């Protein structure tokens, strides 16, 4: 159904035009001065509460319990407020900082031409020198921090030298990208800005985007996958979610036509599980769902089934030790996942979220003020609906949420992979010792493991009808929200929006330091302390602390900003 080709895109140029299907995974590593491409892995998480804004339809997760929870949601604006794959840095990790943004998979429906226009130039020598200086400073800092106690390390980190403004700029611009998506008839133009700044070595998040084939070129998928306990689950999600979502939409359309009297569709063998999932969701939900929410729910459930249950069955069938890592590695690791489908022709956005990444809508009111509206719900123990669901599904198990985590271990209550919270105990006892001996250190059974599964990948869906007041969407991993409240995020991006969307002939002279909206936001996040104070010294110090110790101060941050009706 699709033709494929790979395109490598050089560093960060602000007007990369990608009118058709597009999927990018940023993968960076280096070894002995040679650039290779590695994947991402794992980390711990912090969480926040959630609410649903006026004009939104919270569809819950489509289950009977989900419908009850959705009906009780408050309709109001959001309140303000590892296992590592081996990676060796030669010359102190210089190449991992340089803006080599990796591979881009262009997915082209049928024979539709893919048109790509880039404006890329080699990394300036001054930027290269700044990145070399950062690598040297971090290498020196690592030597000072190694071998210290936690208290000594905290004190030593406070004494580390700051990065210069030029060095901070070099790090912030290393992995940024921007482009426009031109519409077909009936749609509207979008601008997309993305960036990632790592704390882990290498970064553990994935960003993926594509134009869905099911609706010409006016329906677009934007997503963030935040892995934990290894890179392999997030890797699979980033590469397979788009094609599976397209297939779900196709199947749903065929089933709908059949209900209207069309010829009974004949599905391929590989699609039968997906078809069964779609029909089961329709029966459970008891709702006449639109195609996109139904497709997203089915895709999330089916994707997790393939990664966790299907892979287990396949391995038991083959019994080939050489395939154990490839088949079961994605099941042992885990990932949160947030997917937003923006339809510029239907003027709506549908967000499916599993875990604690978050989507926000920037709304400019008629009086000129800005409002932050959540388009997703965090699924953690801080979410009262999730606490109630877990208690309902595991009655009498007082340890199901312990110390704010599932069985005392996992922060998100919904996630892909994480077979240690899903597989039957017999399967874990059979396979975990072997997996653990092969380096999968999260192949261990949690305490109080009585009634699995404890974690689901079934998403919570929020559907929002876009209006003229809706200006941009922010999609980000939780590392961003560790640093900024919802209101602070929208306030920062609104500054960038006002500066870059001034009417021709306006007397206003608003400017921003960064042309890329995601870079502008990440700079603000890392320049702000937890008391809300802002200073350039904060980001200069945070970016000077080397991994793995930087993880005590900041998380990986991955951001996609979609500007609606872009000028």
Q: What pLDDT, on a 0 to 100 scale, did the predictor assign at position 21?
A: 35
Q: 218 and 72 in contact (C-beta within 8 Å)?
A: no
pLDDT for residue 300: 98
pLDDT tens sequence across 269-328: 888 899 999 999 988 876 567 899 999 999 999 999 999 999 999 999 999 999 999 999
Judge whether residue 460 has pLDDT over 90.
yes
Is the CB of residue 415 less than 8 Å from the CB of residue 354?
A: yes
Contacts for 515 with CB less than 8 Å, ≥ 6 apart: 14, 178, 500
Q: Which of 277, 267, 345 is nearest to 305 (CA)?
A: 277
Closest CA to 38 of 86, 72, 81: 86
Q: Which residues partner with 7 through β-bridges?
A: 104
pLDDT tens by residue, 128-149: 899 999 999 999 999 999 999 9
Among residues 361, 365, 368, 363, which one has the least CA distance to residue 508?
368
Q: Which residue has the tokens 């109080």?
A: 448
User: What pLDDT score was predicted for residue 51?
Assistant: 34
Model pTM above 0.75: yes
């Amino acid at each position: 159904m699709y033709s494929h080709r790979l395109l490598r895109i050089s560093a960060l140029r602000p007007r990369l035009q990608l009118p058709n299907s597009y999927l990018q995974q940023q993968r960076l590593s280096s070894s002995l001065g040679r650039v290779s491409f590695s994947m991402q892995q794992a980390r711990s998480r912090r969480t926040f509460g959630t609410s649903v804004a006026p004009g939104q339809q919270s569809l819950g997760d489509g289950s009977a319990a989900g419908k009850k929870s959705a009906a009780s949601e408050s309709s109001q604006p959001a309140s303000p407020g590892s296992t590592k794959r081996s990676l060796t840095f030669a010359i102190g990790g210089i190449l991992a900082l340089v803006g080599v943004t990796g591979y881009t998979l262009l997915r082209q429906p049928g024979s539709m031409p893919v048109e790509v226009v880039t404006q890329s130039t080699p990394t300036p020598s001054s930027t290269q020198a700044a990145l070399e200086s950062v690598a040297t400073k971090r290498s020196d800092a690592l030597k000072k921090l190694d071998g210290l106690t936690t208290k000594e390390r905290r004190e030593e980190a406070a004494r580390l030298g700051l990065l210069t403004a030029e060095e901070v700029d070099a790090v912030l611009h290393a992995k940024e990208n921007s482009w426009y998506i031109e519409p077909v008839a009936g749609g509207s133009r979008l601008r997309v800005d993305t960036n990632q700044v790592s704390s882990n070595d290498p970064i553990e998040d994935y960003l993926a985007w594509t134009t869905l084939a099911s609706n010409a070129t006016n329906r677009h998928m934007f997503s963030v996958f935040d892995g934990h306990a290894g890179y392999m689950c997030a890797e699979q999600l980033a590469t397979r979610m788009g094609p599976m979502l397209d297939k779900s939409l196709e199947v749903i359309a065929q089933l709908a036509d059949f209900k209207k009297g069309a010829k009974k569709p004949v599905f391929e063998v590989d699609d039968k599980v997906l078809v069964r999932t779609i029909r089961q969701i329709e029966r459970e939900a008891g709702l006449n769902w639109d195609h996109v929410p139904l497709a997203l729910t089915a895709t999330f459930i089916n994707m997790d089934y393939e990664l966790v249950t299907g892979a287990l069955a396949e391995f038991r069938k083959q019994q080939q030790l050489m395939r154990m890592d490839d088949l079961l590695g994605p099941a042992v690791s885990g990932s949160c996942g947030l997917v937003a489908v923006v339809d510029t022709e239907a003027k709506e956005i549908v967000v499916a979220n599993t875990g604690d990444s978050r989507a926000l809508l920037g709304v400019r009111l008629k009086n000129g003020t800005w409002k932050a509206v959540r388009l997703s719900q965090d699924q953690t123990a801080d979410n009262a609906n999730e606490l109630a669901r877990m208690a309902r599904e595991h009655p009498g198990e007082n340890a199901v949420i312990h110390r704010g985590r599932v069985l005392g271990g996992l922060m998100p209550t919904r996630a892909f992979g994480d077979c240690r919270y899903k597989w039957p105990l017999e399967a874990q006892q059979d396979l975990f010792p072997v997996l653990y001996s092969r380096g999968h250190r999260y192949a261990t059974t949690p305490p109080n493991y009585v009634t699995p599964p404890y974690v689901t990948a079934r998403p919570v869906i929020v559907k929002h009808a876009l209006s003229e007041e809706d200006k941009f969407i922010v999609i980000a991993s939780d590392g961003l929200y560790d640093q900024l409240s919802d209101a602070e995020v929208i306030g920062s991006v609104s500054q960038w929006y006002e500066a870059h969307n001034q009417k021709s002939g306006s007397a206003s002279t608003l400017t921003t330091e960064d042309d890329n909206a995601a870079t502008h936001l990440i700079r603000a996040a890392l320049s702000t302390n937890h008391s809300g104070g802002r200073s350039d010294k904060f980001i200069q110090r945070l970016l000077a602390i080397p991994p793995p110790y930087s993880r005590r101060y900041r998380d990986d941050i991955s951001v996609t900003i979609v500007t609606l009706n872009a000028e």
